[in-house]
Amino acid sequence: MKKIHTFEIDPFDVTFEPLAGSTFSNLLRLLAENRFRISLIGIPRIMYSLALTSIQSPLNVLERRYYNKHIKPISIKKQPIFILGHWRTGSTYLHNLMTQDPRYGYPTTLQTVIPALFLKYGELFRSIVDASLPEKRPQDDVCMGADLPQEEEYALGNLSPFSYYNGWCFPKNMEYYNNFVDLNNVSASTITEFKEVYMDYIKKVSFAHNHKRLVLKNPSNTSRIKVLLELFPNAKFVHIIRNPYHVYLSMKRNIEKEMILYTVQNPPPWEIFEQSMVNMYKRMFAKYFAEKDLIPKENLVEIKYEDLIKQPVKQMDYIYKSLNLGDFEKNKTIFEKYVKSQKKVKKAVYKIDEQLKNHIYTQLKDTIDRWNYSV
């Protein structure tokens, strides 16, 4: 199997750097955790991030005061719907489809990129956010936009160290940040802080969407079920699975295309990234299978990506009936319209030779066998 040993990085491509939306205190905390080890390729990105976070800092303080006074005391009455599933399983498509239902709210890209100030000052930075976003995601043909649904893992990374994507910014410390995906190997105080940061952010998003029920798509949450239920005991869960062979190849492409836009350190060779990716996959599903039964049966539904792509509206009907979400027929035409609009989106086609097939099977055989997938 041909291996990629190095990554090509443009150090002056700074606009896609997630750290630029961090709070100033969190950015310093991340730098300290990493002993200020910044490679030459990361200096422009760190300088850009320090400049923007410094400008945002006073506004973060003002918004925090507003939040503490007006939003923090409010409880979330309509508990969220969590979309679970490993990265590259079609969860973005499912998220975009479900949120066509006007009853639901969701974190937007703007709200995840600048999570500390989007309520009162988000419009001041909209032009910067718009300018930083490509028309399509780097790794595929999916559209991007400041007001489109986005995963809140980015917001967690800009408010705290507790995010998978911080490991893409600081890949020399990747395994440390992987611990925040399944919350294994972390202290009780860390979990408490994680829950506080997460709840504060969800309350802000809920407030921004007039307290609508939120649909939250975050792959990392696949292995955080116990913690999520402690926050939202009556939440609903949709777990989407996909052929592990395709997940492996799609995740590889994702790392090659997207990680290089985030990192401020020279990344390790692909072989190390691959092992980290595989270990994270195994950890995620070990935790998911250990905790999924904590969810009441009427609050969890599992679907396959392959079924969603073939019959998306039918799968939505199945989800709505399984979780007793109601109003499917009322919104059926909205779903059909969205599905039609996505017909031209190009889907990747993977070629897998026997050697690569055997390599992937050796790595991911537990889920391949459990879900009865083949190439």
CA gap 315, 320 in Å, rounded: 9
DSSP string of 53-100?
Answer: HHHHHHHHHHHHHHHHHHTTT---SS--EEEE--TTSSHHHHHHHHTT
**The pLDDT of residue 347:** 77
**The pLDDT of residue 166:** 98
Structural domains of the chain ordered from first start: 18-370 (3.40.50.300)
CA gap 375, 370 in Å, rounded: 15
CA angle in degrees (0–180, nearest 5) for 107-113-116: 85
**Tokens 């092992």 label which residue?**
275
CA gap 163, 152 in Å, rounded: 10
Parallel, antiparallel, or unpaired: how do β-strands 236-241 and 300-304 relate? Answer: parallel
CA gap 373, 361 in Å, rounded: 10
Of 106, 115, 119, the closest CA to residue 66 belongs to 119
Contact 154, 220 (CB under 8 A): no
**The pLDDT of residue 195:** 99
**The pLDDT of residue 375:** 83
**The pLDDT of residue 130:** 86
The per-residue pLDDT for range 19-59, each reduced to its tens digit, is: 999 999 999 999 999 999 999 999 999 999 999 999 999 99
The per-residue pLDDT for range 110-142, each reduced to its tens digit, is: 999 999 999 999 999 998 888 888 777 766 667
Dmax over CA atoms of the chain, in Å, equals: 61
Of 158, 165, 168, 235, the closest CA to residue 200 belongs to 158
Fill in the amino acid letter for 256.
E
**The pLDDT of residue 199:** 98
Q: How far apart are the first and last CA of the chain?
A: 16
Low-confidence ranges of the chain (pLDDT < 50): 1-4
Residue 332, classified by CB atoms within 10 Å of its CB into exposed (0-12), middle (13-18) or buried (19+), is middle
Of 160, 195, 145, the closest CA to residue 21 belongs to 160
CA gap 349, 134 in Å, rounded: 23
**The pLDDT of residue 136:** 74
Contact 238, 91 (CB under 8 A): no
Contact 106, 218 (CB under 8 A): no
**The pLDDT of residue 251:** 94
Q: How far is CA 349 from the centre of its chain?
A: 23
What Cα–Cα distance (Å) separates residue 144 from each residue in 134, 138, 150, 201, 237? 7, 10, 9, 22, 25
Residue count of the chain: 375
CB atoms within 10 A of CB 114: 28
**The pLDDT of residue 346:** 73
